[in-house]
Structure 1
């Protein structure tokens, strides 16, 4: 590239450097809310902004998971037994470990779904909203079953 004196338009500062303080980054919430390039859809890409409905779905799944764990502990105290061998293992280490494992495994699953959002939509035509609805329906049916067991016992 040839340089012509007096026609330099660059300021000398790299525009990609992010000099915003942390609070301003949180306030402006970033700009990427979707993936534009088809090549990027094949990779795991973290976005800056997500839809509010995704947050609601995440909160519903996590709250139903915690409610399931609490109801399971109540049923165990009344003489029931845990059928899931993984959760039975954590339950044998105490209720705090059980609650932490239950919440942690659910939160990890939800995080993986959110991170793989664009890849799942592109490859399998599965939306994360649909997967979160399936999770919520699953936990909701388990909670309803546990309430039924509590009412019968």
Structure 2
């Protein structure tokens, strides 16, 4: 094989050493890193700059159902019901704004953790992120259906 006769354009830095994607591609829909190619990369937290649109839909469904659940909970409490979850009861005693903020924040943080650990969950536990988001959506959906039932009988 003949030696390379062109100009070496490499910077000397290993581009794979960067843990986070650049800011200019993080919030765009035309990112290049969609998945993990190496088995050792699947062991940790891996940041991508492009996610599948169905993941976005799943996240939005879970977050909207969580907000609907919080709103229906506040309506039921105004009609005389009480919160059975002692943690949320504590935040509810600090006002509806604090309750809504904590409820949404906990849900958003949980979804963020699931998305960040996407590859680790698939590799270690054979769990897909979509499946976990479906479980979250089913849970919040059943709670919302129950709350609508409670509203209809009272």
TM class, shorter-chain normalised? Answer: 0.7 to 0.9
Q: Where in structure 1 do 4 or more consecutive aligned residues deviate above 4 Å?
A: 12-16, 21-28
Equivalent residues in 2 for 1:1-153, closer than 5 Å: 7=5, 9-11=7-9, 26-27=27-28, 29-153=30-154
Q: Which moved more, 1:101-110 or 1:24-33?
A: 24-33
Aligned residues: 145
- Deviation string 1:15-55 (CA, Å, 9 cap, x unpaired) is 95xxxx96677556321100000000001101111111000
Distance, in Å, in 2 between the alignment partners of 1:133 and 1:28 is 23
Structure 1, unpaired ranges of 5+: none
> RMSD in angstroms over aligned alpha carbons?
2.3
Structure 2, unpaired ranges of 5+: 16-21
Q: Which moved more, 1:39-48 or 1:25-34?
A: 25-34
Q: What TM-score, normalized to structure 2?
A: 0.86
Q: What TM-score, normalized to structure 1?
A: 0.86
Distance, in Å, in 1 between the alignment partners of 2:125 and 2:25 is 36
- Structure with greater Cα Rg: 1
